[in-house]
């Protein structure tokens, strides 16, 4: 379109110049027309170029807009919430893996073996305070059974020795007193003066008979496996202390 405009403008300039150069009715202007011809052509060309440039700007697309349309829009950054969710998922997955390993480790180890209750401790009784007692509760560790009676002078004389052993080995050895051959109240009163032991009330003598006790004071010492390490009546303090120290390890 710009080229056509330039051709038309040039032709128009020639016509104007021709009229100026051949003014039959004005002979005096011939010289002037020859002189101004180049100026006329220059003005016409300038106007045509200006019009052409304006048309290009009007018809053409905005270079800035074109550049913007050609520029690829950058991908939008992930929102903090999405990033946090992604990181949390990764962390959870890692922890889940560690948890699975821990579970497999526990399964490979298996449950702890059950404690075998020896025949000597397979009995139930009642404490001097009226609570139920199961001999199996002391299985798996050495046990000292002390059979006494409330009116027994020898039993009373052995209280310091027994309580001393409790203080020394009580964390490793179970000490159980069995009071019998008397009423419940008398048995309880004697037990109150001998702290540190689990005292059982046996007024009917069932436990005495079970363990084959025929006299008081008597001791039955069991090792951790339930085997008898000592069975004696009227045991002297040194012999009792030595056996308890041995089973305690």
Average pLDDT, stretch 15-29? Answer: 46
Write the pLDDT tens digit of every residue in 54-96: 444 334 444 444 443 444 444 444 444 444 444 444 444 444 4
- Residue 171 pLDDT > 90: yes
Residue 112 has a pLDDT of: 55
The pLDDT, as a whole number, for residue 15 is 52
Tell me the mean pLDDT in the region 135-164.
96
Compute the mean pLDDT over every residue in the chain, rounded to the nearest whole number: 73
Write down the domain spans for the chain.
Answer: 2-62, 119-248
pLDDT for 103 beyond 90 = no
| CATH topology classification for 119-248 | Glutaredoxin (3.40.30)
pLDDT, tens only, 197-235? 999 999 999 999 999 999 999 999 999 999 999 998 776
Please state the rounded mean pLDDT for residues 177-188: 97
Mean pLDDT value of segment 126-149: 97
**pLDDT of the residue at 238:** 87
What is residue 237's predicted lDDT score, i.e. its pLDDT?
A: 83
pLDDT of residue 71: 42
Confidence at residue 156, expressed as pLDDT on a 0 to 100 scale = 95
What pLDDT sits at residue 121? Answer: 97
pLDDT at 30: 45
pLDDT value of position 65: 40
Cα 241 to Cα 45, 173, 237, distances in angstroms: 134, 12, 6
More confident: 15 or 169: 169
* pLDDT, position 109: 57
């Amino acid at each position: 379109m710009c080229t056509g405009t330039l051709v038309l403008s040039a032709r128009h300039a020639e016509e104007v110049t021709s009229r100026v150069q051949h003014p039959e009715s004005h002979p005096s202007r011939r010289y002037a027309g020859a002189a101004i011809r180049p100026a006329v052509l220059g003005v016409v060309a300038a106007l045509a170029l200006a019009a052409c440039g304006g048309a290009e700007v009007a018809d053409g697309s905005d270079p800035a807009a074109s550049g913007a349309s050609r520029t690829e829009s950058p991908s939008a950054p992930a929102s903090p919430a999405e990033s946090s969710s992604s990181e949390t998922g990764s962390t959870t997955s890692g922890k889940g893996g560690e948890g699975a390993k821990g579970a497999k480790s526990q399964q490979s180890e298996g449950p702890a073996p059950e404690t075998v209750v020896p025949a000597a401790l397979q009995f139930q009784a009642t404490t001097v305070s009226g609570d139920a007692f199961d001999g199996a509760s002391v299985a798996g560790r050495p046990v000292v059974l002390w059979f006494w009676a409330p009116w027994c002078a020898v039993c009373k004389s052995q209280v310091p020795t027994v309580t001393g052993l409790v203080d020394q080995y009580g964390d490793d050895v179970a000490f159980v007193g069995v009071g019998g051959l008397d009423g419940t109240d008398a048995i309880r009163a004697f037990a109150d003066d001998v702290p540190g032991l689990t005292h059982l009330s046996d007024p009917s003598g069932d436990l005495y008979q079970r363990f084959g006790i025929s006299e008081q004071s008597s001791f039955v010492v069991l090792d951790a496996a339930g085997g008898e390490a000592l069975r004696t009546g009227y045991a002297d303090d040194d012999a009792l202390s030595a056996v308890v120290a041995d089973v305690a390890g």
